[in-house]
Structure 1
Amino acid sequence: MKFLADMGISLLTVEWLRAQNYDALHVRDAGMQRAADEVILDQARDEQRVLLTLDLDFGYLLAVSGADLPSVIIFRLGNQTAEVVTRRLQDTQACCTESLLNGAIVTVTEDAIRVRDLPIVKD
């Protein structure tokens, strides 16, 4: 699995992923720190990366687009330190790998992990 970390995600989390032998890239590494959300989503999709973010806009953009990729993990945490985000990322990987590979929006809070498979179909 490959990851693209948005601006709000610590470089320490990216370094942890790399230490676990994941292909992890931070938007800073790609020179995309000022890129529009749509550009970041396209980059993640083109490179088959799971996007890690604190930004709810990515979930909205995926929902309205009808796209089935890329997967996005949205961290909705009161404490957004690298340690807490990394721990919750480990929890998410343990339970949601298949969904992330197939396309999902995963919302992570302190006490829950919610998975919404992509594409989002309007009723």
Structure 2
Amino acid sequence: MNFLIDENLSPRVAELLTKAGHDAVHVRDLQATSAPDSTIMALAMADNRVIVSADTDFGALLAQARTTKPSVMLVREILELRPPELVNIILNHLDVLEPHLSTGAIVAFAPAGIRVRALPLR
């Protein structure tokens, strides 16, 4: 799976996902730090990447655009985890989440579980 890691997460998240066999880049690798969320979404769409972020604004942008791409993984509620722990949670659930992310979804990780909403949002 292809991932675009937002600037509110450590570049280490991208490194660990890459080591696990995925194509992951951090926004700084694309010279997109401080870029508007709409630019981050465009970059993700261009390379068919899933955005991994703590920024809930992506949900509002996707609802406004009524689009099915890009998929977003929100990790705001588990942001206190260290990058290896965060990546392990993502990887441990990826088999179940990948079909949703491939067709378009927002996945929100929380300490109590995971919520999945299909795109486009209504």
Place the TM-score, normalised by the shorter chain, in its bin: over 0.9
Q: Which runs of 5+ in 2 are unaligned?
A: none
SS in structure 2 at match of 1:116: strand
**How far apart are the structure 2 equivalents of 1:62 and 1:91?**
26
Q: Do the aligned residues in 2 keep the contact of 1:63 with 1:119 (CA within 8 Å)?
A: yes
Identity within the alignment, %: 33
Structure 1 residue 78 displacement after superposition? 5.4
Q: How does 1:1-123 map to 2 (within 5 A)?
A: 1-75=1-75, 76-77=77-78, 79-121=80-122
Q: Hey, which of these two has a bigger chunk of helix by percent?
A: 2
**How far apart are the structure 1 equivalents of 2:23 and 2:99?**
17
**How far apart are the structure 1 equivalents of 2:53 and 2:6?**
5
- The RMSD of aligned alpha carbons is 1.2
SS in structure 1 at match of 2:78: coil
TM-score with structure 2 setting the length: 0.92
**How far apart are the structure 2 equivalents of 1:74 and 1:55?**
7
TM-score with structure 1 setting the length: 0.92
Structure 1 residues 33-68: Cα deviation after superposition (integer angstroms, max 9, x where no partner): 010000001110111000000010011111121010
Aligned residues: 121
